[in-house]
Structure 1
């Protein structure tokens, strides 16, 4: 509310927007019942993400409505024209956002499909609300929206845009040069996989784990599952080998306490059930190493090799083993989701603009923003949770490519209106800057607010990086993208369909009003 109140010219409009998005959030969370269950991370951030992302669509639509009101006598006609004029931006940006979230569904880690489905559904519901419900809300509250108004605190950036275009070669060079350091910094960002590291230090479970480490030199516990038919002498040999593995503090097993001298049928069943069940036997190994460390992973590999040698069907589980699997899965998930999100958005933007080069330029601009965002932790020495690079790579690309799509759509529209390309990009920049700044400010405030409140490091990290990513993407879209579009405009025109001349241009004047003017001047029968 504060961000919208400062960047918009109306006191009432932020509440109208929140009312509309409130419907979308309620519909989205209500329909989660069909999914059965959602993760706590999804529940914590889905509403905020939907608010931050869907607000863009509301802002784009209202800004266009205010423009169209000057051309129409009836504000309902102005709203109809605004919906039509903004539809390309809205459909393109919402589709790319949905694609970014759906890319998370390719993750083998369950959090990805969980968050991806909920948010993709939320964006679809959000765009429907913006196109169907929000126009009615705006028309109903049109008078108080414009009556209770004030000057926007966003300055006029026309002179800044002129200066940027006058130095377009410099900004194109900056765009190209920044990729190298951004990629290097991103590759040096450290990631942690230990789940308990993301939880508050004062939680009882965290306190207990630290106490075990300090007083008993025990950090994690491994559980080895072997076949119960394994002879006692082989079990003894396996256990002795495992006890010699570096970092093993203690090994507890059924046969170590019972021994071969006591017949198995002498042991009470309730005691045997602790270590034996369904033809399997469990061994417990206490380790002095913490999960997700190199020495812990090496220890698990050594134990697994010993167990497999005695029983090919042996399994090792526990926090350390699961964390090691998590590291292997996440490495693949990061690559798969990034590739899928980039390819999906390239296709969607390409179809939206009927162009081969526009999607490459827009995705490259936002990918630069993502590289810078993910590289900042390396400069600050911050270690981020394993989920953050996956979520940021998809969500920042899908959500903030809207800024680039809005700028490019307006640039093409001004070219089709007959403006020379330098004048067209200046008009497009001045017309788009306000919407980009407002939507980026809302996205920043919504996600940054959660990062300040949350005590769970995973949620805090995701939201703080999304907040920073919104600002970086906005800066790239305002300062760098116009120069890149202008420099590549000739090539874009050659590789795009109807770039400068649209078959069905959006109506700029009301036909009926024009016909009445002709009738009054010429006295002709119409």
Structure 2
């Protein structure tokens, strides 16, 4: 280790050049990273949602939609707005209630009844709700331009836009993270000013942190794809978790600097610091490794990036920081100042004095928190999570939901071709309590009486009735169709009995009109073109080359036992007619996430605790210390996740999985700091009371520095970002870290004091050589 330390110090200029070159390369490569915005992309490949989404992406076109609410308008104004929106280029339809002639002739009393009963889905309480469909998918430029025109048209109204057409989560999150990073840097500088021994160390720390963050961001290109969650929080978490490494090395250097010259002090600091920092990082990485075993791919995504972040942070501290220290040796000496960290020996005395009260309370809290955290109400949908700073999308959803019921759309994907089965499925599904309506080619009506649907086969007379065309012209078209399609049987019997699928007939007439085979009137020609466009749009969305899609609109919650049971019912109905069925939508992805969470939750919790316990066992060569430390931090995790159960709020499932691993892996370091100092004092035969008081006093600067930064970073993320997923992660992390600090500074010292005798008797025995022979020792305080 000394040879390695000497090499680093002597080759520091060369290493500085390598790091600077690597940083430049990282800046260049960071633009080649693809950020995935959808959590559903990380579901296991064999889930119904993943397979169904792949089928839908391949087979169907999904046009952009928007729900727009305009408040403080009369019905006549709302109707005029609907007509105005329909004329916007790129808008294919605006769904809004319109009174028919009978409604308009009703007297006032009847009209009020009509308004309260029939119009409530579109207009009530001086608020109008428009369901807008666009002519192209939401990422198409025409749809983007159309929603911009809609916004312009409604700029003078109190309007709320609930749409993903022009919703740019990536840009919003990037803007938020810029602010968060600035605030995080201010917090870090403030904390370091308080705990530092020389002002120059702050500049060195920030440069080292910046180097590590740049290297981590740039090297993400090796994965090509990373999630928006990882992209957003990795840098802040890296700064918060890896700050200890730089502090440990620099404080080692300052201790040695008072004894020897600068070079030798740095060599000694590296010689002692590299093993210490490397072992300290293992518990943090253990939590990240546990995440990588999740079925839900976001765990692998975040885990591997954070492990890389920790390794690169250590490399920056070991390879980049020594060069900066030697470069600015004089500035370090000139900016020395008295530490502002107070002496807190009084705290150790208080901790010992109240142990008879706090330890029984801790035991009760441990049991209660464990029970409550198990019964926490977990949520799986992004829109179910509210953040302190609400974006337009979430705010619009909340405001619209106060007046109108927002529907939830599910897609049922089945093999193409059997329209009768599709019709029967939709009929049965519509009878389910949560289902409001269904839509498919087999139930799209084409006449005012709703007698025929697009998939019906019609005789000439039936087609004439719904199109108002001359019956002789229709017969001629039928004969021509039969001849071209070689349906010669139609000529053996009366053509009036010949039935042709309406979809096929519309395609045929449109094709012949395009080929100018017939000389249709201008009005009829326009009707055919309009009808064919409507059918084409419907087919693009509802019929692919191999599969058909039916849409199911439900009311009520988007997730939970009720909608999950409805999904099972829909699937069971469809399986009565098909051997291959995919039910896809936000609710089904939530359903799949809830299933994978149950397994991931148990696995991540057990693996994290086991990994950390094993590392602690080898660190302390003691069997009881790992149990005490893990119990302390695990209780802080249970307390953190019992808060939602007490307050009645939902906990986003991803926050639990990620934060529980980070909280165990990272904050266990605080417990290690205290335990290491305490056991060292006990081996020096310092009495346990004095050992506790000295340990808390000496550990306070390290814990308060790292803990304050991680806690602040979490709360800043939670308060600043408008992305509900990231905000939930931040708030949960901040609360968890703060809880861990309190338990480590209060309960852990009391446990070490009370179980001092047990600890002394449970050191792992090892063999040592004495005078060429072998003997046994337990390695304990004696």
Per the TM superposition, whether the score is higher than 0.5 is yes
Deviations 1:414-473 (A, max 9, x none): 344454444444333322121111111122222322222111122112112212222221
Change (3 A) 1:495 1:80: farther
User: Is the partner of 2:296 in helix, strand or coil?
Assistant: coil
> Within 5 A, what are the aligned runs for 1:92-103?
92-103=279-290
Deviations 1:198-245 (A, max 9, x none): 477553587479759956x55211111122254x44333222111111
Structure possessing the higher radius of gyration over alpha carbons = 2
Alignment partner of 1:260 is 2:456? yes
Change (3 A) 1:108 1:349: same
Q: Kindly state the Cα deviation for residue 49 of structure 1 after the two structures are TM-superposed.
A: 0.3
Out of 364, 386, 397, the residue aligned to residue 177 of structure 1 is: 364
Q: 2:344 and 2:196 mapped to 1: Cα distance?
A: 15
Q: Kindly state the Cα deviation for residue 95 of structure 1 after the two structures are TM-superposed.
A: 0.8
> Within 5 A, what are the aligned runs for 1:5-404?
5-70=193-258, 72-87=259-274, 89-165=276-352, 168-198=355-385, 202-203=391-392, 207=396, 217-230=405-418, 232-256=419-443, 257-261=453-457, 262-263=500-501, 265-266=504-505, 268=507, 270=536, 272-404=539-671
Deviations 1:346-382 (A, max 9, x none): 1122122223222111111111111222223334444
Change (3 A) 1:204 1:361: closer
User: Is the partner of 1:106 in helix, strand or coil?
Assistant: coil
Deviations 1:391-417 (A, max 9, x none): 111011111111111222222333444
Change (3 A) 1:502 1:491: farther
User: Is the partner of 1:497 in helix, strand or coil?
Assistant: coil
Q: 1:389 and 1:382 mapped to 2: Cα distance?
A: 14
Question: 1:209, 1:219 within 8 Å by CA — same for their partners in 2?
Answer: no
Q: 2:628 and 2:193 mapped to 1: Cα distance?
A: 33
Question: Does 1 or 2 have the higher relative contact order (CA < 8 Å, sep 6+)?
Answer: 1
In the alignment, which residue of structure 2 is the partner of 1:432? 699
Question: 2:623, 2:764 within 8 Å by CA — same for their partners in 1?
Answer: no
Question: 1:89, 1:405 within 8 Å by CA — same for their partners in 2?
Answer: no
Q: 2:360 and 2:255 mapped to 1: Cα distance?
A: 34
Give unmatched runs, 5+ long, in structure 2. Answer: 1-188, 444-452, 458-499, 508-534, 771-782
Question: 1:93, 1:401 within 8 Å by CA — same for their partners in 2?
Answer: no
User: Is the partner of 2:413 in helix, strand or coil?
Assistant: strand
Q: 2:568 and 2:435 mapped to 1: Cα distance?
A: 13
Alignment partner of 1:473 is 2:660? no
Change (3 A) 1:468 1:210: closer
Q: 2:412 and 2:423 mapped to 1: Cα distance?
A: 14
Deviations 1:106-155 (A, max 9, x none): 22223221111111110111122223332443344344335324444432
Out of 484, 488, 512, the residue aligned to residue 751 of structure 2 is: 484
Change (3 A) 1:106 1:40: same
Out of 675, 694, 717, the residue aligned to residue 450 of structure 1 is: 717
Higher helix share: 1
Q: 2:601 and 2:360 mapped to 1: Cα distance?
A: 29
User: Is the partner of 2:579 in helix, strand or coil?
Assistant: coil
Deviations 1:323-342 (A, max 9, x none): 22122222222222111111
User: Is the partner of 1:127 in helix, strand or coil?
Assistant: helix
Question: 2:382, 2:724 within 8 Å by CA — same for their partners in 1?
Answer: no
Deviates more, 1:4-13 or 1:282-291: 4-13
Deviations 1:44-70 (A, max 9, x none): 111000000011222233333333444
Change (3 A) 1:214 1:17: same
Measured on the aligned residues, the alpha-carbon RMSD in Å equals 2.9
User: Is the partner of 2:412 in helix, strand or coil?
Assistant: strand
Give the aligned length: 499
Deviates more, 1:318-327 or 1:426-435: 426-435
